[in-house]
Amino acid sequence: MKSRVFSKVMASMFVIILLMSASVIPVNASDSNTQEGKTPSGIPIEEMEREIDDYVSAYIGKTAPGAAVAVVKDGKVIFQKGYGYADLENQIPVDPQQTVFEWASTSKLFTWTSVMQLVENGKLDLDTNISEYLPQDFAGKLEYQQPITMRDIMNHASGFGDYAFNIIVFSEDQLVSLEEAILRDKPEQYYEVGTASAYSNYATSLAGYLVQTLSDQNIEDYEKENIFSVLSMENTSAHPTFEDNISILGNKAQGYLPDQEGGFQPGNWSYISHLPAGSINGTVVDFAKFAIALTPGKGEESLLFKNPDTLDTMLSPSYDPTGEMVGTSHGFFEYVGEYQTFGHGGNTAAFSSQFAVVPEERFGIVILTNAYLEMDILFGLQDLLLGCDRNEIRVPDKVLPSSNKVVGKYVPMERQVGNFLDFAKYLGLYEVRATGENEITMNIGEYQGKYLQTEPYQYELIDDNIPLFRNIYPVLSFSLENDKVDQIVVGNGMDLSPLPKGRTVPFLIGSILTLLLSILFFFTVLVVLMIAAIKRRNIEIEPARRRFLKYQLILVLAGTAFIVNNLIPVVKIMTSNFRTYSEMEPFIMFNYPLLAVAIITVTLSSVWIRKSNSVTKKDKAMHFASVIFSMSLLGILWHWNFFAIVG
């Protein structure tokens, strides 16, 4: 899913996936040669299969062991094919009609469809405070100060920061009910509702809970009855353990992660308590039926809605923070292409997915892979079939603001405000540079997107060196206040902001330097003090100085323990995206006794340093440095929420 932890997801997306050779195994290809017309990108339908085969063949076995692709047009599945392996170890090929994949965050589209069905039935208003629909005892436990509407939730504009923990677990016994997950995993509501779009799995769970409340059914049961069964999606389940469709469990693909040798290692299946955000499993052909339902012909009714206006409303822009609709259509993401395109992508621990429909052309694509964070097949194939000629983007014949106005460093609005992972977003800042009067680049480390200004403060992507930009940041709209950028409006949950107060570049550099110097100081001094203590074992020392030296050693031990205790959870979360808060909580809790030890030893050592006449200048200098580094380290840890209890 989208992530759930955006900081770690972004870091992982920038890892170059090493190559592995494997054969392409097509299974159950439709005869597209019998179809007429073209793809939205202009490929004749009779040539489409060859184009898809050529493209996927370049990546299958290299960026993913297997993939399933389906294309729909004019109410029919005109192409379905499996490539590579669903299970490498047992050499089981992907079958588009049988192989079950995790759909990840594309599952959200079914939550939004469920919401719109309730709107159509008069049970829900998109602009009413959701607390009016929730049970009073449940709403009271949420403890959010700002009112939220369903439209805010669908726009990922409900004020919530990210919450990295508990989104995905790897065993059934770690699953909890949706209600328990919502009350347990509460992120901070840190920005004004409706003013920004910050991707939120949590808010989607709230939407699913509303569906449960208003329909008096569990969300998975509602989707099965009102979507899957209606569309004859017989090889699909939204239940986290397939309880409602156990027969498809044996056809589920093995998920994989790239390894250091250029191959793949088996990954974990994902179990999701926040199931409205990403729990659906199914085949590519079943998913294609959903695409058909979203692209009815003129005058035809969608099987999902009684009123054609409901579908039109759902697939219409809904996010409007600056007076211009951008990027988001009632939970569906709008992609830049030759035609207006709606869809979503997703990632779990070992699967990736991409879905898109072009209603005007009655065209849709579904791409499922059994690899973690696969991008080349998903995004490249979407570009191939939907098209977007960036060579046609030109600067208009009018005066535009200088690109120097938008230069700066930016950070995603979807960040871990209020918990210790807040720091992670600042490790890979987005830097905007002016490369011409109307040209900029946006850099994330070595990755770069090049943009051209086409309207005042609006820049369109013209080139990139990673698919991330063309599929997540195709258009940047800079919002200015007092002649300074206060937000980059992107929509789709991906808005950016300038660095907030307390997170400026000098402070970020200072935080890193403080941490590095603290590590060097405490580990070095600990070794020095322990060696000195061993040498003094048989030397008579004034009792007051001996006691001072003992407290000094304890203080240094406490500082060293602080560093180790907080590096462990950071390393844990950076080596695996998917951690539970219960894994992290002991380290956060242990900071409090360490803090008490530090305060007590600083106080006692300061007392005994005055009582002893034999304390040397070297002792005093060491003590002063220890106190300064302890205070600096504690200040940094406090500022970055390493004392915050968020579970």
Residue with tokens 């054969």: 23
End residue of a domain, out of 443, 474, 498: 498
Q: How far apart are CA 279 and CA 276, in angstroms?
A: 7
Same domain, 364 and 268: yes
From the number of C-beta atoms within 10 Å of its C-beta (0-12, 13-18, 19+), residue 393 rates as middle
Can you tell me the distance from the alpha carbon of 49 to that of 178, in angstroms, rounded to the nearest whole number? 42
pLDDT at 577 over 80: no
**Does residue 381 sit in the same domain as residue 442?**
no
Domain closes at, from 388, 421, 444 = 388
Residue 16 has pLDDT above 50, yes or no: no
Same domain, 375 and 328: yes
Q: How far is CA 607 from CA 479, 548, 603, 627, in A?
A: 56, 8, 6, 13
Residues 218 and 322 in one domain: yes
- Taking residues 185-194, report their average pLDDT: 93
Residues above pLDDT 90, as percent of the chain:
74
**Cα–Cα distance, 185 to 350 (Å, whole number):** 23
Answer yes or no: is 644 within a domain: no
Residues 475 and 521 in one domain: no
| Contact partners, residue 438, CB within 8 Å, separation at least 6 | 395, 400, 403, 452, 453
Q: What is the spatial distance between Cα 451 and Cα 440, in angstroms, rounded to a whole number?
A: 5
On the question of pLDDT at 236 being above 90, the answer is: yes
* Sign of the C-alpha dihedral computed for residues 579, 585, 590 and 592 taken in this order: positive
Q: What is the pLDDT of residue 33?
A: 44
Let me know whether 57 and 90 are in one domain: yes
Q: What is the predicted pLDDT for the residue at 609?
A: 80
pLDDT of the residue at 22: 35
d(CA 333, CA 357): 10
Residue 507 has pLDDT above 90, yes or no: yes
Average pLDDT over residues 406-414: 96
Average pLDDT, integer, range 481-495? 94
417 in the same domain as 382: no
Residue 645 lies in a domain: no
Which of 22-31, 109-118, 255-264, 633-642 has the lowest average pLDDT?
Answer: 22-31
Calculate mean pLDDT across residues 72-101.
97
Cα–Cα distance measured from residue 176 to residue 190, given in angstroms and rounded to the nearest whole number = 26
Q: Enter the tokens of residue 629.
A: 């580094």
Boundary-marking domain end, from 480, 498, 516: 498
CATH code, domain carrying 54: 3.40.710.10
DSSP calls for 412-478: ESS--TTSGGGGGGGGS-EEEEEEETTEEEEEETTEEEEEEEEETTEEEEEEESSHHHHHH-SEEEE
pLDDT at 119: 98
Residue written as tokens 């709008």?
Answer: 334
**181: Cβ contacts below 8 Å, ≥ 6 apart:** 166, 205, 273, 274
Residue 1 lies in a domain: no
- Max intra-chain CA distance, the chain: 99
What pLDDT is stored for residue 24 in this prediction? 43
The mean per-residue pLDDT over the stretch 481-510 comes to 93
Tens digit of each residue's pLDDT (9 = 90 or more) over 157-184: 999 988 888 989 999 999 999 999 999 9
Does the pLDDT of residue 69 top 50, yes or no? yes
Say which range, 93-102, 470-479, 503-512, 616-625, has the weakest mean pLDDT.
616-625
Lowest mean pLDDT among 222-236, 294-308, 432-446, 563-577: 563-577
In a domain, 54, yes or no: yes
Query: How many other CB atoms are found less than 10 A from the CB of residue 593?
Result: 11
Across the range 203-212, mean pLDDT stands at 97
| pLDDT of amino acid 177 | 96
| 219 neighbors 111 (Cβ within 8 angstroms) | yes
Dihedral pair phi/psi, residue 369, rounded to 5°: -130, 155
Looking at every residue in the chain, the average pLDDT score rounds to 90
- Return the pLDDT at 19: 29
State the average pLDDT over residues 361-387.
95
CA atoms within 13 A on the CB side of 333: 28
Decide if pLDDT at 647 tops 60.
no
186, 143: one domain: yes
Give me the pLDDT at residue 45, please.
96
Q: Is residue 183 part of a domain?
A: yes
Give the chain's domain count. 3
Q: Are 113 and 245 part of one and the same domain?
A: yes
One domain for residues 454 and 341: no
| Model confidence band, residue 113 (pLDDT cutoffs 50, 70, 90) | very high
How much is the pLDDT for 7?
Answer: 42
Q: What pLDDT score does 618 carry?
A: 86
Q: Which of 376-390, 400-414, 528-542 has the highest mean pLDDT?
A: 400-414
pLDDT score, position 1 = 53
Q: What percentage of the chain has pLDDT greater than the value 70?
A: 94
User: Does pLDDT of 6 surpass 50?
Assistant: no
Distance CA 113, CA 226 (A): 10
Stretch among 263-272, 452-461, 616-625 having the lowest mean pLDDT: 616-625
* Predicted pLDDT of residue 400: 95
Q: What is the pLDDT of residues 585-626, one digit of tens each?
A: 999 999 999 999 999 999 888 887 877 777 788 888 988 999
Mean pLDDT of 248-275: 93
- Write down the pLDDT at residue 466: 87
Among residues 511, 581, 620, 602, which one has the least CA distance to residue 176? 581
Per-residue model confidence (pLDDT) at position 29: 57
> How buried is residue 512: exposed, middle or buried, by Cβ count under 10 Å (0-12/13-18/19+)?
middle
pLDDT band at 99 (very low <50, low <70, confident <90, very high): very high
Structure tokens at 471: 């599929």
629 inside domain: yes
Kindly state whether residues 185 and 236 are assigned to the same domain. Answer: yes
Domain that holds residue 589: 505-639
pLDDT tier for residue 146 given thresholds of 50, 70 and 90: very high
Domain-embedded: residue 471:
yes
Q: What is the pLDDT of residue 221?
A: 97
Other C-beta atoms closer than 10 Å to the C-beta of 630 total 23
Average pLDDT, integer, range 539-547: 80
Give residue 28's pLDDT: 52
- Region 555-570 average pLDDT: 94
Same domain as 401, residue 376: no
Please check whether residue 597 lies inside any domain of the structure: yes
Q: How confident is the model at residue 541 (pLDDT cuts 50, 70, 90)?
A: confident
